[in-house]
Amino acid sequence: MRVKTSWRSERLLPAKDHEACGLFGVMDITGRRFGGEMAINAIKNIKVRGNGLGGGFAVYGLYPEHKDYYALHIMFQNKSVEAKEKVEDFLVEHFNVVYDEEIPTDPQVNLFCPPLVWRYFVAPKKKGEEHSLPDDDYVVSRVMHINTGIEDAYVFSSGKDMGVFKGVGFPEEIAAYFLLDRLYEGYLWTVHSRFPTNTPGWWGGAHPFSILDWTVVHNGEISSYGTNRRFLEMHDYYCTLYTDTEVMAYAVDLLMRRQGLPIEVVAKIFAPPMWDLIEYMEEKEKKLYTALRMVYAPLLINGPFTVIVARHSEMFGLTDRIRLRPITAGAKGNLVFLSSEEAAIRCVCPDLDLAWTPRGGEPVVVRLHSQDHLLSLNQSV
């Protein structure tokens, strides 16, 4: 990550990534935790949607024994000891570190330039005026500081009781490397297989992209990226990774965490109905959609996308409004699935109770202890 300090001109911005991908997410709506086999096997099934240049997983309900602490997953490029010392000095100054360890890996798995990856369980150590700052904002600003200020160090996961594992390779290789099938359980897994056209060879560039407990996995290319990015910059989100996905993550954080909008509304900001359909709506709806489109026009996400966004107790899938990228939802008992292809779901859960294709721009919202995901069925086929 690089900080936007003094770009003299938009011209000097690095080129943005172009990528497309395979996505998969599974959640147990009772909160029961389960292993990574489903996520790993499903993403392996749609291997041809990626090209081996990035894969990653997000797992929720990961660290029940430390669930009150922010779990920071930090990678040190080139296994830099110097970076690690700097980070640890910084952490000790700003946090109470209750526990830390190297994230276990399988040395037998041969991957491209693996960094040193460490995890720290921390609680904010606020001073003076900082006490008025919410914990989340405090953590975000410290994470940004590490990512932009300390060379070769990158925090790629910073939520509580959740974590991201990602790197350069096919996702099943990343899973094997981090021993995901053996060591971890969670009630919600999302996974991403990447097909970038830029190849920085950088582990941080893989998905999921994460801030606090938000994670985003994304497929597509956002044609409105420049508009979205410059709007978010006005709200102090600086896009430092130059991937489409980053825009999506910050927009979700802005609209949902900071502005408190529910996902059902956010989905309509990202993928609003066409004006000619709004014309045919009832007066009240018409007013709402007209207002949303007027106010949040810069956050219309244009171009093809499918995205699976997750945070604690919630996962939602969304495509662009003319569904230029695929998504399939499925359900079996307490398990709800989202995937780029139905076959990926079927290969880990052959006998689904339900399988449906959500309408473009209609979110599938999967929540703990609720049946909200069925709402999207009405609009779907």
Partner 1 sequence: MGNLNVKFGLRDMFLDGVRPVHELAGCVFLNEHRVEIDAQGLKHKELNDLLRKTLLEGITKITVRNVYGQRYIGTRLYRPDPEKKAEITIYRNPGNDLGAFLDGHRIVVYGNAQDGVGNTMDGGEIIVHGRAGDIVAMSMRGGKIMIRDNVGYRAAIHMKEYPGKVPVLVIGGTAQDFFGEYMAGGIVLLLGLNLKENERHKAHYIGTGMHGGVIYLRGRVEEYQLGKEVGVRELDDRDWEIVQRYVGEFSAHFGFSADKILKGKFQKLLPVSKRPYGKIYAY
Partner 2 sequence: MYSYLLPEFVVERREERCIRCRVCERQCANGVHSYDAERDQMWAAEQACVGCQRCAVFCPTQALTVRPHPAEYRPNSSWTREKLQDLKKQAETGGVILTGSGNDKPYRIYWDHLVLNASQVTNPSIDPLREPMELKTFLGRKPDTLKIVLHGEDVRIESELYPNIPVATPIVFSAMSYGAISYQAFKSLAMAAKEYGTLFNTGEGGLPAAMRQDYGKNAIVQCASGRFGVDPEYLNCAAAIEIKIGQGAKPGIGGHLPGEKVSENISVTRMIPQGTDALSPAPQHDIYSIEDLSMLIYALKEATNYEKPVSVKIAAVHNVAAIASGMVRAGADIIAIDGLRGGTGAAPKIIRDNVGIPIELALAAVDQRLREEGIRHKCSILAAGGIRCSADVVKAVALGADAVYIGTSALVAMGCTLCQKCYTGKCNWGICTQDPYLAKRLNPEIASQRLINLLRGWSHEIKEMLGGMGINAIESLRGNREHLRGVGLAEWELNVLGVKGAGE
Q: Which residues bind partner 1 (CB under 8 A)?
A: 45-48, 50-53, 77-78, 112-113, 170, 199-202, 204-205, 276-277, 279-280, 322-323, 326, 328, 341-344, 346-347, 350, 355, 357, 359-360, 379, 381
* Residue 21 falls in the annotated catalytic set: yes
Nearer to partner 2, 31 or 303 (CB): 303
Please give the radius of gyration of the chain, using alpha carbons only, rounded to the nearest integer.
20
Select from 136, 213, 221, 253 the one that contacts partner 2 (CB under 8 A). Answer: 221
Stretch of 1-9, 48-56, 86-94, 277-285 lying at the interface with partner 2 (CB under 8 A): 48-56
Select from 44, 49, 192, 321 the one that contacts partner 2 (CB under 8 A). Answer: 49
Q: How many residues bind partner 2 (CB under 8 A)?
A: 24
54 scored as a contact of partner 2 (CB under 8 A): no
Question: Shortest approach of partner 1 to residue 46 CB, angstroms?
Answer: 7
Select from 3, 13, 48, 274 the one that contacts partner 2 (CB under 8 A). Answer: 48
Nearer to partner 1, 95 or 356 (CB): 356
Nearer to partner 2, 221 or 246 (CB): 221
Nearer to partner 2, 50 or 124 (CB): 50
Nearer to partner 2, 50 or 358 (CB): 50
Cβ within 8 Å of residue 299, ≥6 positions away: 228, 231, 251, 255, 269, 270
* Interaction site with partner 2 (CB under 8 A): 15-22, 48-51, 53, 195-199, 219-221, 304, 324-325
Question: Mind telling me the catalytic residues?
Answer: 21
